[in-house]
Structure 1
Amino acid sequence: MMSEKLIALWNGSLAGRRKNYSALHVELYPKLFMYASKMLHDDDLVDDLLQDLFVKFWENRGKIGPIKNVEAYFYRSTRSMVLNHIRLKKHRDSKLIHMSAPEHVFSTEDIIISNESNSLTKELVLSALNRLPAKQREILNMRFYDELSYPQIAKVLGIRYQSVINHVYRAVQSLRQASELSALYAA
């Protein structure tokens, strides 16, 4: 029954009916707010992101077609917005850290050697990561790049907490056994 109501509101919104759009917003906003709040823990930010999501939906409604599961569409969209926000914030924060004054002054040779070593290490790690199964890569990215907790990852992906831990464990084991990486750190 709820699914049919959401589909009717969705179709009305796509047709440009503001009442349907408002009703869709009223129906979905509380659930999406709770979902995003579990990942961000900042109610004002969550509110801003969800308002942006609904505005983008309204502005792009002419480009969107009918869907079977309206709720899932908005949950996926919310997840994407939250993860994009986390990535951008992390990127901005890392830029601020790099802008601070250096504590030590290194010689040009030290910097060149360090950059070459870091570049080689990065290439080897990326090569090993690319050989991991897609699900393990996604979970590692969420855990270490996006800095999401295991429960947050489980919630976002809709899988059990233990499955997330198992994926991370297997991925790390695979990386440890990667011949390029083991040779790099054996020296």
Structure 2
Amino acid sequence: MKRIAVFCGSSEGSDPKIVKLAYTTGTVLGTKGIGLVYGGAKIGLMGKVADGTLDKNGEVIGVIPHFLKRKEVFHPKITELITVDTMHERKLKMHELSDGFIALPGGYGTLEELFEIITWGQLGLNQKPMGILNPNGFFEPMLQLLDNMVLKGFLKQENRDMLLVDNSIEGLLRQMQQYQPLAIPKWIEKEQT
């Protein structure tokens, strides 16, 4: 993988271990020569991931909408900053630039980015690996919800299994290297005669 997009919070949250994991994620990417594609901010977990990658002389590409750039939250030291018009264009550009996706803890925006990209995978629009780093069980309630969606017949097990999960960046990267996309995406069926 040449580049990985990371979705995560624009806040640091209240758990110092999560902040440390964000920075470590960046350092591991930089050490392995994997470029970081992210939202372009200098604040929160986003800034920590970027700082970690930069501290290992890694490539960091930020993608930020104009309205956020005007608020001066963009990281001034990254390799490249791409400015787009909308949040949707941001995700499209991040998808275009990346070979895989990782979500760290965050809020609504992080979940929205993760679920849109995994929906694209379910529909066959994205064949790239998608995973979450799950420090201290942060995502356990969400994972239980996904399991309940399978149990209740709203989500197929093979679609649930597209979301890779690990507690360490090294473990998640290993899973991502071995990822095999679904052979037959949802909604794509034989033509009816």
TM-score by length of 1: 0.23
Higher helix share: 1
